Amino acid sequence: MNLETVRLNAGLTVGALAREAKIDRKTVEKAEAGERITLVKAVAIANALSRVTGQRYTVQSLGIETT
């Protein structure tokens, strides 16, 4: 599953995921578009989705490209 699919299945908007991960909304948008983001922010996204869904997600499992 990719990041966008997991986010949608979790019932989260881009903004809600950004707030949960404590990062900028544009960073989530970049990650979903396949652009590279920092590893720290990618981990924040994976951790936020893991908390919300109760499933374990990693940067790799979400297909997030990092710098």
Would you give per-residue pLDDT tens digits along the chain (67 residues)?
A: 899 999 999 999 999 999 999 999 999 999 999 999 999 999 999 999 999 999 999 999 999 999 9
Structural domain boundaries of the chain?
Answer: 3-62
Residue 39 tokens read as: 């590893």
pTM over 0.85: yes
Distance CA 22, CA 25 (A): 9
Q: For 3-62, which CATH class?
A: mainly alpha
One-letter amino acid for residue 6 of the chain: V
Distance CA 47, CA 43 (A): 6
Radius of gyration of the chain (CA): 10
Residue 14 tokens read as: 């881009």
